[in-house]
Amino acid sequence: QVQLVESGGGSVQAGGSLRLSCAASGSTSNIKYMGWFRQAPGKEREGVAIIYIDSYSTYYADSVKGRFTIAQENAMKTVSLEMNSLQPEDTAMYYCAATRSWVTAGRKLYSGEYDSWGQGTLVTVSS
């Protein structure tokens, strides 16, 4: 099994930046994809950014392209999310996710494709 622990959430004013980090432990050698999802109050969980561990290929939601950057560190045991130009609509609980299975094209940002989840870290952006 894979255990994921997020860190780095907090409160920031609009236009500010935050950096999230996700540390994986356990059976990490077979992880294929890791990334970030978020869920705002009253909304469904949505994919934000995913990285393919072997090739470092990245996938982003349209709403965060150009503002957020996902990166892999420490031989895939840690994934970060650099968030810039934050807006109030980015306010949500952010969850780290991982899977050891192949994810088909077009489904990289679907939460149902991931079977390991962290507890979440809250990001609040005020206007």
pLDDT of residue 75: 66
- pLDDT above 70 coverage of the chain, percent: 98
Confidence check: pLDDT of 96 > 80:
yes
Question: How large is the average pLDDT for residues 83-110?
Answer: 96
Q: For the chain, what is the mean pLDDT?
A: 95
* Spatial separation of the C-alpha atoms in residues 78 and 126, rounded to whole Å: 28
Q: Angle at CA 123, nearest 5°, toward 122 and 126?
A: 135
pLDDT of residue 44: 96
* Spatial separation of the C-alpha atoms in residues 71 and 101, rounded to whole Å: 20
Angstrom CA distances, 63 to 6, 48, 84, stand at: 22, 8, 12
Question: How large is the average pLDDT for residues 13-21?
Answer: 98
Q: pLDDT tens for residues 34-76?
A: 999 999 999 999 999 999 988 889 999 999 999 999 999 876 6
Residues contacting 112, CB < 8 A, separation 6+: none
With bands split at pLDDT 50, 70 and 90, how would you rate the model's confidence at 77? confident
Residues contacting 106, CB < 8 A, separation 6+: none
* Spatial separation of the C-alpha atoms in residues 105 and 91, rounded to whole Å: 28
Residue 33 · residue 98 · CB < 8 Å: yes
